[in-house]
Amino acid sequence: MVSARHSLQTKLTASFVILILLISGLTFFYTYGATKSALKESVQDELSQVAGIMATQVNGDTVIILKPGEENTTHFIAIRDQLVAMRANSNEITNAYIMKDTGNGIVFVVDDIYGTDPDAAHIGESYTTGETSTIFEAMKSPVASKDFYTDKWGTFMSGYAPIRNSAGETVAVLGVDMTADKVIAKQDFIGYTIYLIMGLSALIAGLIIFYFSRTMIRDIRKLNNTAEKISMGDMTAMVDVQRDDEIGELANSFSRMVTSLKILMSDDENKP
């Protein structure tokens, strides 16, 4: 008897499972990469839209008059609290702030964590990272970070939008941050979901292949057992295989062959 390791059933099942895993793996990497890219674009759109909406709620005429050292004034606190309240409407946003271009570079005007975090930026504090070019772009229309960036506060992806005065002139830029951890967590969730779906699909496909190969091998074994019985002289052996596929056709041909052998043997016995 053929061992389980060398059986056709094992070989068929293993071959198809390996093929499914290979296809699933390639599909996973392609889908995950495409999904990560789509998610990144979605986050960028979300950040630029949130920044754009928040920027329209800020009065540019009042922001521009803030000067270094006025962090504890009623005017500063009112704008800071407005940023905190708007930021609270989104669980994804971790920080909101206002910056402006002094002609000598980008500086902070209002940081919404001022008073609650010792690392908060002060009025007039310079901001010099790779994001400055994106902030300059935001003076025309809402934009988002091209990719993750790192500054002294952490690693983020941000959205920016222009703050305009009553004359429609851009006087500052509002920024909102989303930490890299939040974006990566979304990417990981999608990756795990895709991995789980493909894993379950491969498992189900493997079980289906195992079932069909098992029924096929079972009927082949019936044919083999019948052939062995006939070869030992048992002409009463019958082929008990009912299928509508090629194996069924083989079983029918085998049955006809057995019938023909019986007729031939009967004729030989009746000859004088």
Instruction: Provide the residue ranges of all domains of the chain, joining segments of one domain with +.
Output: 4-26+187-270, 47-180
pLDDT at 53 (0 to 100): 94
Q: Which of 163, 130, 162 is nearest to 147 (CA)?
A: 130
pLDDT of residue 1: 47
pLDDT recorded at residue 249? 78
Question: What does the pLDDT look like over 197-243, one tens digit per residue?
Answer: 777 777 777 777 777 777 777 777 777 787 787 777 776 777 777 77
Q: Own/partner pairs for 187-194, CB < 8 Å, 24+ apart?
A: 187/35, 187/36, 187/39, 190/32, 190/35, 190/36, 190/39, 191/32, 191/35, 191/36, 194/28, 194/31, 194/32, 194/35
Radius of gyration of the chain (CA): 37
pLDDT digits (tens, 9 = 90+) for 17-34: 677 767 666 666 666 666
Are β-strands 149-151 and 154-164 bridged in parallel, bridged antiparallel, or unpaired?
Answer: antiparallel
The Cα-based distances of 55 to 87, 92, 95, 129, 263 in angstroms read 11, 17, 14, 22, 97
The token duo for 241 is 């295989």
Q: What is the pLDDT of residue 38?
A: 76
Half-sphere CA count of 27, side-chain side, radius 13 A:
14
- Name the stretches of the chain with pLDDT < 70: 1-17, 21, 23-34, 187, 235, 265-272
Q: Is 121 helix (H, G, I), strand (E, B) or coil?
A: coil
Tell me the CATH number of domain 47-180, given options 3.30.710.10, 3.30.200.20, 3.40.50.10810, 3.30.450.20. Answer: 3.30.450.20
